[in-house]
Amino acid sequence: MNNIEIAASFDQLADLLEIDGANAFRVRAYRNAARTIEGIAESLAGVQIAQLTEIPGIGDDLAKKIVELMTTGQLTMLEELKAKVPAGVVQMLLLPGIGPKKVAQLHKELGITSLAQLKQAAELGGVASLKGFGKKTEQTILEGIASLDQQGVRFYLADVVPLVQQIAADLSKVPGVSQISPAGSVRRLKETIGDLDLLATSEDANLVMDALAAHPLVESVIARGPTKQRVRLKSLSNPMTPGAQGHKPEMDLRVVPEKSFGAALQYFTGSKEHNVVTRRLAKEKGLMLNEYGLNKGEEYYLGRTEEEIYAELGLVFVPPELRENREEFGWKTSADVPKLITEGEILGDLHMHTTESDGTASLEDMIAAARARGLKYIAITDHSKRVFMANGLNEERLLKQWEEIRRIREKYDDIKILCGVECDILENATMDLSDEVLAQADWIIGVIHFGLKQAPDLITKRLLTAIENPYVDCIGHMTGRLIGKRPGAQFDVETVFAAAKEHGVMLEINAHPARLDLSDVHAAKARAMGIPIVINTDSHSTYGFEMLQWGIAQARRAGLSAENVANAWEFEKFEKSLRRNQKK
């Protein structure tokens, strides 16, 4: 069981405890533990209780439960609560805006044990009669139930960002609209997205909502109120997301007054964990923070911009990508905030394929496309022979390709072209190509494509084989994951990262939307350890360079600046940083 699964178990335990009426402090302890564990890059497998209790917020009881999950794959307390709380009650937590407390109230006061019963009660007006609910909440429940067939479907960031950007650009032209912005997980650039959020200010909310309803990307209006509208978009034309075919993203539009735009943007951007802290800080100052503003009692105080809210709370402004309650609340001045890397700062791309292996463009075409994008240096890295289904290159073919690259690159004075290869790290912990061949390259990426389900100690050994090889410059898509399709390999992160640091090996953020590997947590750990990152597109066509933006998004969520990213350096600095050149 990995850290994400442990965190999910603790989150589920907190939900069930809250439904069951447990002490609020106990519930919060499990939620905080889940966030802490989720943000730890190193696997907790095999870690002893004494070591676990050194982690902030993890006491002896929580440590024992982590060990139980690691050793047995389940948690006795969680299983007991699952048996106690009906599955249909737990399913109610999928409804937007309905938390554990409301679910418990519905269950205990109305005896509701399923979504079907809840729908019937809401349609008959029984839900609105409960204290703290009302007609608005009742309608929200009905809307949520109607959309539950969509619940659980998440889309790659790359699939939905173009939709959000197009709709936002079009709505910004509606008369009276003065501000418009994406919110939610799209604004935080999460790897995958559930629902889409859009926030606007306008003198006439109806005008904006009419424009959204009539937008060519919108299929239907699900619900509409005075200032909020939920729509279903048309099916994605060519989704990359596994299982997205036929599913249709949904979008919430909220129209707010100018004075509340900053507060609403901060609130609806999230994350939930970040907002828990900002609301607590507001409360400590005698204020209340919600989507309407930062208020003194019932009186509006401020809320026009996010910046003024953070300043009033005594915080530096936090970029949306970093609002995950990891390190942002420890920043004292703006100098502590990372200057997040931008796409325009990338000067090189060091992972791409040609028709020599499984690419669709020739060497000359890939060079031309890279020059058109303004890149200053690239590496050609076709597959090595182990990837036979992708026409991987054996030693003879590879050396011949490098001869051609050396001949062709003499023609260009505006771009450096490196002889490289994506060399497999084999299941027996050896490299797919001999050191004699690897020594003749300019740039080597070591990767694992096969045997991803091997035991963590074997994966660790394989990665160390590559890192300790004097000719390997970088480890590419380190875990081998495919988001929503294939989990990544498990290994000893601490040992592998320490070795990369010691041997001067770079780590890759692979920009393909299905990979984004390293994860933001692992990339942030590399940053903290001073391990250079390279953001590569892994292009298999001339259009593949467009994927860089998703690698940049991942890097920003990891808090990376240009100084942390080796292919944002001028070529001379990058070249000198390679350990083979440092030895020379």
Give the model confidence (pLDDT) of 17-46 as tens digits: 888 888 888 888 888 888 778 667 667 777
* 404 is a domain residue: yes
For residues 245 and 263, membership in a common domain is answered with no
CATH of the domain at 286: 3.30.210.10
Which carries the bigger pLDDT value, residue 95 or residue 315? 315
Q: Give the residue from 70, 85, 100 where a domain finishes.
A: 85
pLDDT beyond 60 at 366: yes
| Residue 198 and residue 289 in one domain | no
User: What is d(CA 161, CA 171) in angstroms, rounded to the nearest whole number?
Assistant: 15
Tell me, yes or no, whether 411 lies in a domain: yes
Strand stretches in 191-281, DSSP E: 192-193, 196-202, 218-224, 228-233, 250-256
The verdict on residue 237 lying in a domain is yes
Domain boundary among 85, 107, 125: 85
Q: Tell me phi and psi for residue 301, to 5 degrees.
A: -110, -60
Is residue 584 very low, low, confident or very high in pLDDT (cuts 50, 70, 90)?
A: low
Kindly tell me if the per-residue pLDDT of 149 is higher than 60: no
Q: Does one domain contain both 53 and 158? A: no
> Average pLDDT of 82-91?
83
**453-456 contact pairs (CB < 8 A, 24+):** 453/489, 454/427, 454/489, 456/43, 456/45, 456/489, 456/490, 456/491, 456/492
Q: Assign residue 153 the CATH number of its domain.
A: 3.30.460.10
Bridge partner residues of 418 (DSSP): 379
Same domain, 386 and 506: yes
Q: Are residues 252 and 288 in the same domain?
A: no
Which tens digits make up the pLDDT trace of 410-436? 999 999 999 999 999 999 999 999 999
Let me know whether 284 and 243 are in one domain: no
Strands 348-349 and 377-380: parallel
Quick: pLDDT tens for 237-271.
555 665 555 578 899 999 999 999 999 999 999 99
Decide if 185 is inside a domain.
no
Q: Which domain holds residue 202?
A: 149-165+192-256
Are residues 7 and 75 both part of a single domain? yes
Q: Specify whether 364 is located in the same domain as 276.
A: no
Reference 112, options 134, 87, 135, 137; nearest CA is 87
Nearest-CA neighbor of 166 among 203, 221, 212?
Answer: 212
Instruction: Average the pLDDT over 279-296 and give the result.
Output: 94
Task: Sort 413 into a burial class: Cβ within 10 Å, 0-12 / 13-18 / 19+.
Answer: exposed
More confident residue, 3 or 432: 432
pLDDT on residue 147: 62
Half-sphere exposure of 377 (CA within 13 A, CB side): 19
Residues 6+ apart with CB under 8 A from 376: 347, 348, 414, 415, 416, 570, 571
172 in a structural domain? no
Mean pLDDT of the chain: 91
Q: What does the pLDDT look like over 446-474, one tens digit per residue?
A: 999 999 999 999 999 999 999 999 999 99
CA dist 227 and 120 (Å) reads: 27
